[in-house]
Amino acid sequence: LPFGTLRMRKNGSSGGHNGLNNINELLGTQNYTRIRMGIGNGFARGQQVDFVLGALGDEELGQMDELSKRVIAACRDFAFVGPDRAMNSLNIKKKE
């Protein structure tokens, strides 16, 4: 996903993500709600780990406060109005 894109899903596969593989294994299911935050694809093939664990750029850091607020709001919506309405609020296209 492009950097800053947020997506909530009620279930799904790990998509090869080791952290989600571990959660799937521990829970014994893929049926749990998750929020994905896009990081972009500004890395060379095979360099994903260094990219993901590396420092954010100034532009990305500048967006983190807004993104954090949106994720917190989505978690609140999930708890109080349910996953379907929370997904409808969160999964909107980011304005360019």
Instruction: Judge whether 78 and 85 are in contact, CB under 8 Å.
Output: no
Helices (H), 1-57: 18-27, 48-53
Average pLDDT, the chain: 90
pLDDT by residue (tens digit) across 47-88?
888 888 889 999 999 999 999 999 999 999 999 999 999 999
pLDDT (0 to 100) of residue 93: 62
71: nearest Cα among 8, 1, 3, 2: 8
Cα–Cα distance for residue pair 62/39, rounded to 1 Å: 14
Q: Could you tell me the pLDDT band of residue 95, with boundaries at 50, 70 and 90?
A: low
Q: Alpha helices, DSSP H only, in the chain? A: 18-27, 48-53, 58-81, 83-90
Q: Quick one: tokens of 69?
A: 């607020």
Structure confidence by residue, pLDDT tens digits, 18-45: 889 999 999 999 999 999 998 888 888 8
Matching residue, tokens 């294994």 = 25
